Amino acid sequence: MPGAPNKPPAIDAPPAPEVPLAGDKRQHALRRLAPARLVLRLPIWRGAPHSDLVKPLERVAATLAAGEFPDAEKALDQFSVRLAEPRWPTIPEPWVRLRVAIPAPQPPHWDPDFKLAPSDRETKKNREWARTQLLLAKGALELAPSLHVDLTDVQSTVAEAQAVFDRDGPRAEFWTPIDRLWEAVESRVALPAPAAARATPPAKLPPGIQPEEA
């Protein structure tokens, strides 16, 4: 047709996906490490948590200090999986959200988010993690007085983050006050010493056999 354009008309571009989690690799790790430190300070551990929970967090601190971020994330994953083991006391909200149980194998289509586009799945994941961070941050401020930890200078961080989330979702500005709180927790809450390992009782020997003869 005379006068017809040589190319199809322009189509409006789809809306840009939501901005992913802001911050550097250390901040990403700290958003898990700082709440994990508080989990091990809960009174449920009857004095001291097991070394199986303390050692992974010790490795996280060491690898973060060395700038080995992939190793730090692996140690955090190990901690989250171990925290989900049934041998521990019941962990209250919101700290139970740090547990990551290993799911049984299942077909992909059983996942309720299977039909979502990858960008939509990522957006949903980011929003859920931001909501979890808000709950953990509120829990940190509520727990601090019982631990004799002063967080009064970062008391407003939760309200600041909540206001940004309600207005814009988990944009970059949301994470600024959250990270400020976790930096304070990391610097003021020390890892507890693990519970002392119980000595293995000596094996019972048959009558008439002395220990040096065993």
Average pLDDT over residues 93-105: 86
Instruction: Give ∠ CA 14-24-120 in degrees, rounded to 5.
Output: 25
Average pLDDT over residues 42-52: 91
Cα torsion 78, 139, 178, 122: sign? positive
Q: Which two tokens stand for residue 149?
A: 């930890």
Place of tokens 């898990």: 32
Examine residue 212 and state whether it is found in any structural domain, yes or no: no
Cβ contacts of residue 79 below 8 Å, gap of 6+? 36, 53, 56, 57, 60
Give the type of residue at 86.
P
Answer whether residue 122 shows pLDDT above 90. no
pLDDT in tens, 153-203: 999 999 999 999 999 989 899 999 999 999 999 999 998 888 775 444 555
Residue 7 has pLDDT above 90, yes or no: no
Q: Is residue 148 part of a domain?
A: yes
Asked, for residue 201, whether it belongs to a domain, the answer is no
In this prediction, residues 96-124 reach a mean pLDDT of 72
The answer to whether residue 168 sits within a structural domain is yes
Q: Is 29 inside a domain boundary?
A: yes
Q: Is 122 inside a domain boundary? A: yes
Residue 209 lies in a domain: no
pLDDT category at 210 given cuts 50, 70, 90 is low
Q: Tell me which of 22-31, 142-151, 197-206 is least confident.
A: 197-206
Domain extent for 136: 25-101+117-191
Distance CA 197, CA 49 (A): 11
Examine residue 8 and state whether it is found in any structural domain, yes or no: no
> CA-to-CA distance for 75 and 58, rounded, in angstroms?
9
Count up the domains in the chain and report the number: 1
